[in-house]
Amino acid sequence: MLGVCRGLQLLNVYFGGTLYQDLRLTSSQIKHLQSPTPQEVPTHHISVEKESSLGFLPENYMVNSFHHQVIKDLGQGLQAIAHGNDGLVEAIENKEKHVLAVQWHPECTW
């Protein structure tokens, strides 16, 4: 199963995790709302775990961003496999259950 953006948030809650209901509740200084930048233009860096399902990406990768909610507490059985420079979770997985989710929109990155 692949979750994208809100899909990551829903999967995290399904697995018992929690969300910050708004980025303003975090100390993030990263622009997580893409507008007015076009959706295909990456706006911030993430760090990717090399031993993860996203290990094919560079360890330092740029993504687009369209969200105002983020993971607060990780759901049971999930592993954070990418983080923004602000420390917020940008991707999760559960290899046993074949779950992968990203906070950005890869379908817009071309």
Which of the residues are catalytic? 5, 105, 107
- Selection from 106, 68, 96 nearest residue 82 by Cα: 106
- Please provide residue 25's backbone torsions phi and psi, each rounded to the nearest 5 degrees: -85, 0
Beta pairing class for 60-63 and 70-73 = unpaired
70 neighbors 23 (Cβ within 8 angstroms): yes
Residue 83 burial (10 A CB sphere; 0-12, 13-18, 19+): middle
